A and B are shown apart, each in its own frame.
Chain A
Amino acid sequence: MGGSKWGKLMRMRKLKRFIPLYIMAVPGMLYLFINNYMPLPGLVLAFKNYNARKGIWGSDWAGFNNFKYLFATQDAFIITRNTILYNLTFIVVNTMMAIAVAIILSELRTRGKKFYQSAILLPFLISSVIIGYLVFAFLSTENGFINNSILAPLGLERISWYIEKKYWPFILVLVNTWKNIGYNCIIYLSTIVGFDKGYYEAASIDGASKWKQITKITIPLLRPTIIMLVLMSIGRIFYSDFGLFYQVPQNSGALYSVTNTIDTYVYRGLLELGDITMSAAAGVYQSLVGFILVLGANLLVRKMDPENALF
């Protein structure tokens, strides 16, 4: 039928019908082109000796020199270590906390349940700047709650929190958990709510204790979800929460060795130090390794549970 006049007419009609749909797609596609695709050629900056007068394309090629310099510095090691170690800690702590809270919430019968869930989700909706203020209210050396209302009454010395490095790994993990726990437990909670009640009824008829039900039914049933979410987080392990690492320590120079991540390094290189090439090299490093990790994580997810793979 394709060659006949009738077929042609039908095809034309069909295509004509699609025109409005293409028009509807234009603004979104155009935006993604501008915001996500047009910058991509700029990645060559990492391979150039950037000269603002000559522009990106006019500047001389530097080959892999920028990367050589980057990896010759202590910075490359520190930012990679910080990014990965913090993320790994976040994954472990957040996953355990989220599962525990989701299980508790799913078992509670009180009306307070809704309130609890709302309360712990609230910090997730607050901007990093405000979170910086909240943390500052506790930690400020002169006026902070901890120095004034906890350490002083106990006769302990004040601590200059924003200069002392050793506390920050704990502070950042704590703030991250505080911020994300409500968000992280939502998916686990909705998964648990979807479980077949029959398992639990059968178990309690058999006299299984609550603890037994949790360890023998809930957690095994949650396993696919846990594995999937953890793998997805591992795929994002090269990216850090810029707001957390930049705003919460107040960009304090004394803390860089424990708060500098790839994202904050790229930011400072570009906008504070004017070291654009180093910043660009670190950015390319992040984009490439990050891309490989996302693909790898997805490959694993697809092997275990094709339903949940991204592609």
Chain B
Amino acid sequence: MRKKLGLIVNPVAGIGGRVGLKGSDGPQILKMALEMGAVPESPRRAQQALERLRPAAGDIEIVTWPGSMGEQAAAASGFVPTVMETVLTEHTTPEDTEDAARSISAYGVNLLMFAGGDGTARNIFNAIGDTVPVLGIPAGVKIHSAVYANSPDSAGRLALNFLKSKGRRHVEDAEVMDIDEDAFRQNRLSARLYGYLKVPYDRGLIQSAKAGSQSCDEVVMDAIASDIITNMTDEHLYIVGSGTTTRAIMHKLGLPSTLLGIDAVFRKQLVGLDLNESRLLELLNNRKGKIVVTVIGGQGHVFGRGNQQISPAVIERVGKENIIIVATENKLLGLSGQPLLVDSGDATVNRILCGYAKVVVGLNKRIVYRVSC
């Protein structure tokens, strides 16, 4: 049976980059970029990725949107794509990406590949959540999410392997991050964790074919949760940060949790879900606290991305010695030696947190890892 590969090209993604505009969100920026002579990058990159799939062209049906949103790139790479019926305006908008994701997902595909940046990833996440495995071809100015392959070439290769593999296809959760572009243009960096998409698991890079599997990550997260729970004390309030690794702790405790929010636990009972800074400070008024946070994949952020609720005041109240960082070994190794990062919003707190942290990577298992700001 032919495998179905969804394709969305965001033709304006990355357009601001070459002319130094730090992003391409918003019609004014797009206009400014085009006036400054910007040339769309993403169609070429999509084509580069599709080149890798060409040997298997007969076995793959590409499902895409008309014109610059995928049809052209697919045709240029020698495919005869199935094109969804729609009418495109001259300049595509985020709504177009969302509509495309919805219609391609409804048609039914094994994998949805997109060429774009963090904005595009966010649009796809908004439209279809993590219902379909997704793989990003890096083409935007902002590449903070963990949903992309390293290059268009490796995106093509990874997609081919994923579609070709028989039996269970392995996927993993990857962060969808985006920064506030208005702030970024004024040289202030502020990012948010929007959610998680399922991406193909790249076996070749981290583990050998015989050892790698999706279940490995689940088992490791469960072991990390065991470690944290075994060492829980009765006197501390546990502030559990966002992410799938920390969610495993709540899951093992049999408690509800929020994936993107900050939850709190006391004596293994739920105290609150999705708490903000003032609520956290309130809870810490008469109790000692511990903070359990994980690492943003590919970026290495521990504070300041997706968990701003754990503010400098909360961190200071709890104290450095009561911060527990959890992460799978794969995630740490995926940082390729780059340090963990703290960007709490307060330079003094950042400096205090710098140094070395014993990251919990399994039951009774730690890796000493460098933290910098």
Question: Do A and B come together as binding partners?
Answer: no
Could you list which residues of chain B lie within 8 angstroms of chain A, going by C-beta atoms? none
